[in-house]
Structure 1
């Protein structure tokens, strides 16, 4: 469910017509719904009600500080995968003891900064990282709380580029090696083992891979406790998928996900951490663009937009689908015809959809890409010297620009010419 609906023939974000925002900030722009973000966060809170838990928002999906502040005020923790994301979480007002630090390549500098400013835990991804973290923590006179990310060798049945739980993936340590590494962790100075971590991928639309991985983690929890380790929390990662089309996609509901977690871990007396990103942010955001031209080609027509692959790279990178709809609602009897929907970047890959049925549209008309809140703005770039586009947050009948569009002078003046030129 989201809060982007037609009213009197105009697509609204909550109570604000998108035409009003477009007139103010220009196109393209991202628009997020406060009501949808809050609703989706609370779905996870409700799903785990009665269990000791913390819902940590995956910042990599949508990192604007206004969104982080909004979720942090609701009690969310944050899952970060870089020193920059860690600093964003703190800047948004989320305390370090609600931040978990994931990622396969944490540097000494990142470790030291997090230890100095507060951290809930490091999700350690290798024995090598564990040893470096021990050196950094001991050198600072600190103790680093850690979980070890285990790789359960479970195929998430998702896109090749976002699967993370198979033995050939770079993430975590083989679950068969975990007990030996935990034994080493117990001997290392500056390290406190607090739990186990697992994350098998993103955009999962079936609970079976989750349950297979979580069952292995539950068994490991019992084994590690038998070895004398204190395992008081289990970080289950994120990955629950969303419907990217309005047709027949029916990913599992958070309530079903929570019931499965209870079934697997209910008798273990552990705190549950989860790291959703896409399901909280994905359907809470849209990308609004304008039509530049309707170009007639040989055998096909092209709807050329002012948004491009640098603004929303998912279709070019993953072959991802986004529903694309007109901001001014087409009449029910309007005939639709297939068009290729493309951007202006000089790449054939700058294509959002091929032969997509659309109502008649022309220069200046507005379209909206649904389900663009996650992995949209965060993955954008200035390729072709195209400015990063504004982000707008709507709250009822109010809206605010939460990231401005930079000017061309601001972009170009970041370059520095050496004195010999």
Structure 2
């Protein structure tokens, strides 16, 4: 276990969390290098029987270079969805050839930069994008290697806001239109269309939706080959879920690997995989300090110094993160609302939940926060971005500083609104 109690104190690997709080302050994200390595090893081992494959880390889950470099050591490339993530992947040591550019809203400048960088391939989301990419590639004197993202119209059975293959999804080409769209895009002179891609959503713990999607993709592969198209690659996406609540299982990675082997037998392609959350979610916690315990009916409010701008998932999705005291008072528990200081009623981490009893000044963590935590943070209420701490064994380092909002986006008055001008305007 990367986060565990020792002598009544929660540790990150071999480092007591109060030591990290003293060094970095709170709130702060704390990551376990061992947990990242363990998850990466599990994924690699589960997919080992697949002879032809490429593993790609979904950078959106957490773009920190320490994570990217660690995963690169296990052979992971990068799945990116923006020009900024292209820069993050390169800074994290990922070779351009091992980068796949997904996402529904690529700009012309971003596509041009990716072509200049020599990335491995693009996942095309719609026809006009393919036409623009082809024209850009021709202008750059290259052919853009690409896959066509297909929406198989399969419900991922997870939260609606993280499902990407419903009938009203903005992602991909609807399955019934895929053959015609592939035919048109394959004829463009600037594209080297070499297969299809699919991704039905995130936090998937039941493998049945993935299996259904893959079967549809298998049928599509056969139909495209029957038309004479030569397909060499299929991107199976990511989306495998993890356990956020004690006692609830995450995705069975060994069963997933076996299912992929069965469903793709005979496809004769190289398979691409894009795990994100699975690799990093359980490797991180958000360390926070209790500011106040406010009496209320029917339940008191535990007000902590972390907020929805630091960890947005509960406000966005009603997502569950365990709230755990760093120095628990034995088995003492109470029912409370755990909230942050941001001026929104939605700034809430737990509602009427039985949690470890805490008091003013106590440290606690919001667990399983390594994915879509710091990556989704903002400076709402002019709050600072919190530091990130990397722990490996008995050593730790602050690998991202606490950054005040004013440093992230410096603001200034219009040039005509100097102090004298403002005084004159008030006087009119």
TM tier, shorter chain? over 0.9
After superposition, residues 179-190 of structure 1 pair within 5 angstroms as 179-190=179-190
Counterparts of 1:333-352 in structure 2, within 5 Å, are 334=332, 336-352=333-349
What is the alpha-carbon distance in structure 2 between the residues aligned to residue 4 and residue 34 of structure 1?
Answer: 11
Deviation at 1:277, TM superposition (A): 0.6
| Match in the other structure for 2:129 | 129
Residues 92-131 of structure 1: CA deviation (Å, up to 9, x unaligned): 1111110000001111111111111111110000111111
What is the SS of the residue equivalent to 1:353?
A: strand
> Does the CA contact (< 8 Å) of 2:43 and 2:253 recur in 1?
yes
Counterpart position of 1:88: 88
Distance in 2, matches of 1:252 and 1:266, equals: 22
Is structure 2 residue 269 aligned with structure 1 residue 270?
A: yes
- Is 1:138 matched up with 2:138? yes
Counterpart of 1:416 in structure 2 is 412
Q: Name the residue aligned to 2:350.
A: 353
2: CA distance between counterparts of 1:307 and 1:53? 40
Encode CA deviations 1:259-280: one digit per residue, 9 max, x unaligned: 1100010222211111111111
Match of 2:299 in 1: 300
Q: CA deviation at 1:176?
A: 1.6
Query: 3-state DSSP class of the match of 2:214?
Result: helix
- Contact kept, 8 Å, 1:121 with 1:147, in 2: the verdict is yes
* Deviation string, structure 1 residues 309-361 (Cα, Å, up to 9, x no partner): 101111111001111100013314x3x21111000111111111111212331
Deviations 1:52-85 (A, max 9, x none): 1111111111011221111112211100001110
2 CA distance for matches of 1:408 and 1:204? 35
- With over 3 angstroms needed to count, the CA separation of the structure-2 counterparts of 1:105 and 1:29, relative to structure 1, is same
Per the alignment, residue 193 of structure 1 pairs with 193
The Cα of 1:235 is off from its aligned counterpart by 0.4
Shift in Å at residue 409 of structure 1? 5.9
TM-score (norm 2): 0.95
List gaps (5 residues or longer) in structure 1: none
| Cα deviation 1:235-266 (Å, max 9, x = unaligned) | 0111111110112x123311111111000102
> 2-side partners of 1:292 and 1:329: how far apart?
17
- Cross-structure match for 2:421: none
Task: Tell me the equivalent position of 1:371.
Answer: 368
Shift of 1:410: 3.0
User: How many Å separate the matches in 2 of 1:411 and 1:94?
Assistant: 26
Instruction: Tell me how far 1:186 sits from its aligned partner.
Output: 2.2
- Match in the other structure for 2:3: 4
1:237-248, aligned counterparts within 5 Å?
237-247=237-247
Q: Is the 8 A contact 1:44 1:55 kept in 2?
A: no
Q: Does structure 1 residue 387 correspond to structure 2 residue 391?
A: no
What residue in structure 1 maps to residue 38 of structure 2?
39
- Structure 2 equivalent of residue 312 of structure 1: 311
SS of aligned partner of 1:75 = coil
- Number of residues of Structure 1 aligned to a counterpart in Structure 2: 416
TM-score between the two structures when normalised by the length of structure 1: 0.96
CA distance in 1, matches of 2:388, 2:283: 12
The answer (yes or no) to whether the contact 1:200–1:239 under 8 Å persists in 2 is yes
CA contact (8 A) 1:6 1:329 kept: no
Where does residue 53 of structure 2 map in the other structure?
A: 53
Residue 71 of structure 2 aligns to a residue whose secondary structure is helix
Offset at residue 408 of structure 1 (A) = 6.2
Q: CA deviation at 1:298?
A: 3.3
Where do residues 170-185 of structure 1 align in structure 2 (5 Å cutoff)?
170-185=170-185
Gaps of 5+ in 2: 418-428
Paired with 2:355 and 2:201, the residues of 1 have a C-alpha distance of: 33
Q: Please tell me whether the aligned partners of residues 193 and 229 of structure 1 are also in contact (alpha carbons under 8 angstroms).
A: no
State the distance in 1 between where 2:257 and 2:89 align: 26
Aligned 8 A contact 2:32 2:390 in 1: yes
Distance in structure 1 (CA, Å) of the matches to 2:356 and 2:389:
27
Q: Which residue of 1 aligns with 2:155?
A: 155
CA contact (8 A) 2:379 2:405 kept: no
SS of the residue corresponding to residue 389 of structure 1 reads coil
